[in-house]
Structure 1
Amino acid sequence: MSKLNLLYIEDDRVAASGVLALAASEGDRVIWEDNGAAGLRRASAEPFDVIILDRMLPDTDGIAVTRRLREAGIDVPILILSALGRSQDRCEGIEAGADDYLSKPYQTEELIVRIRALHRRAGRRTHSAVLIHGAFECHLKARTAFRDNRYIALSPKEFELFRYFMENAGYAVTREMLLRDVWNMNFDPQTNVVDVNIGRLRRKLEEGFSGPALETIWGVGYRLTEGQ
């Protein structure tokens, strides 16, 4: 597992110490800044894999910091950690340019998963026009899918789902992740939209093949197999 270079902007020393300890246990490097201005200067001075950002800072708001980072052309994935966890708050963070938003209190395991998921997606978007996982291929520019070199015709939404599974290949993908990242929803609409689309994608990826494409992990979500 790759070790990450993280920037954490948080004024609460106790909260910061918890994240610093967590990162150390994972072997990651964390630079901690306790105010927005210092965080902006640090983000402009050196490259980071992910920026973790508190929303309520002593000198500014985390939303404003996010906008400043994006306006400066800094496209590092941003994860906002905040005690403000209403749907409206989460939407404001995403609209400002954050890639993810996690409400406090949170489970440490979830924080680790989200940080690494952001890093994987950013790396694959930046460095590859073709994602390969086992027998599957996802051609990003052409927006085409293949299994064992056989073309799979997908609708636009099915392709977005397939791409998301490819970007998170080998990892469990939850319903919340799909709603947030594929449907751009920061709330559960209490419909079966995810299940219906997963079913359609699964049928297309598995038709004519003996092995499964998507496995259901009960109580968690779904995971893309290697298709071999």
Structure 2
Amino acid sequence: MIKVLLVEDNEKISENILEYFENEMDIKNVYNGRDAIDYLELYDFDIIILDLMLPEIDGMGVLNHMSKKGIDTAVIVLTAKEELGDKLKAFNLGANDYLTKPFYMEELKARIIAILKSIGKIKSSNLLQFKDMEVNMKTKRVYIKDVEIELNEKLYNLLEYLIMNKGVLLFKEQIFDNICGYNSDASTEIIEVYMSRLRKNLSKYDYDKYIVTKRGMGYLMDESIED
């Protein structure tokens, strides 16, 4: 599932976005720039929805922090400000897109999908592709050469996360936060159990070999491994 950091101090707008994307995206919402920076230091997100007019640290401050720290997560700036100078400054600091309030949820969704497609996170609005494997994020079904692979919710979420970050080494703690949730009481060792079960499900199609373990570090989905 797509991981989103929503930084918006207007509680009504924040609630509306959370409700609209409830079953489509995993959204963590904060209400000020300082909390946004803290989360960006601790967790990985696919995209950030960032208001400019924020308490404590404003949106430009968040963008500036990301630029200095080399955090290249995609950003949609969401704001009531329409001045060209603000837009240019946001783009110069690394923002990918700019949406002015008030806005339609459908347009926000379209822009999120367009950005994630442009940076290779997703194949289309609902599909992820890994070699001959296709993951439908809308129906939460997985196919290899048109044969459906039966996975439970945890294993599906794990596979989706690995494919969305294919070629990227993911630390066990990162995977745990994304699969189990930031506040889960479970141990990070559960990820080894889930990974073993996922490999078993993929082994009959010889796709388990693409899940590479980096001992003491984490896992990655490696598309470069030869068939």
TM-score of the aligned structures, taking structure 1 as reference length: 0.51
Residue 99 (structure 1) shift: 0.9
* Match status 1:114 vs 2:106: no
Residue 124 (structure 1) shift: 6.1
Superposition pairs of residues 3-18 of structure 1, within 5 angstroms = 3-18=1-16
The structure-2 alpha-carbon separation of the partners of 1:114 and 1:35, relative to structure 1 and needing over 3 Å to count, comes to same
Equivalent residue, structure 1, for 2:19: 21
Provide the rounded CA distance (Å) in 2 between the counterparts of 1:63 and 1:123. Answer: 26
1:77 to 62, 74, 77: 74
Equivalent residue, structure 1, for 2:86: 89
Provide the rounded CA distance (Å) in 2 between the counterparts of 1:123 and 1:21. Answer: 26
Superposition pairs of residues 134-213 of structure 1, within 5 angstroms = none
The answer to which of 86-95 and 56-65 deviates more is 86-95
**Over residues 59-87 of structure 1, what are the superposed CA-to-partner deviations in whole Å (9 max), with x where a residue is unaligned?**
12201111101211110101110000122
1:45 to 42, 46, 63: 42
Amino acid at match of 2:4: L
Provide the rounded CA distance (Å) in 2 between the counterparts of 1:91 and 1:100. Answer: 11
Amino acid at match of 2:16: G
**Over residues 101-153 of structure 1, what are the superposed CA-to-partner deviations in whole Å (9 max), with x where a residue is unaligned?**
1110111111001011111112269xxxxxxxxxxxxxxxxxxxxxxxxxxxx
Provide the rounded CA distance (Å) in 2 between the counterparts of 1:53 and 1:64. Answer: 11
Amino acid at match of 2:20: L
Provide the rounded CA distance (Å) in 2 between the counterparts of 1:10 and 1:107. Answer: 16
- SS of the residue corresponding to residue 54 of structure 2 reads coil
Structure 1 portions without partners, runs of 5+:
126-228
- SS of the residue corresponding to residue 21 of structure 2 reads helix
Provide the rounded CA distance (Å) in 1 between the counterparts of 2:57 and 2:121. Answer: 32
The answer to whether the Cα contact below 8 Å between 2:32 and 2:58 also exists between their aligned partners in 1 is: no
Residue 88 (structure 1) shift: 2.0
Equivalent residue, structure 2, for 1:34: 31
The structure-2 alpha-carbon separation of the partners of 1:124 and 1:22, relative to structure 1 and needing over 3 Å to count, comes to closer
Amino acid at match of 1:34: Y
Residue 91 (structure 1) shift: 1.2
Amino acid at match of 1:76: T
Structure 2 portions without partners, runs of 5+:
123-227
| Off by >3 Å, runs of 4+ in structure 1 | none
How many residues were matched structurally? Answer: 122
Provide the rounded CA distance (Å) in 1 between the counterparts of 2:40 and 2:121. Answer: 21
Amino acid at match of 2:13: A
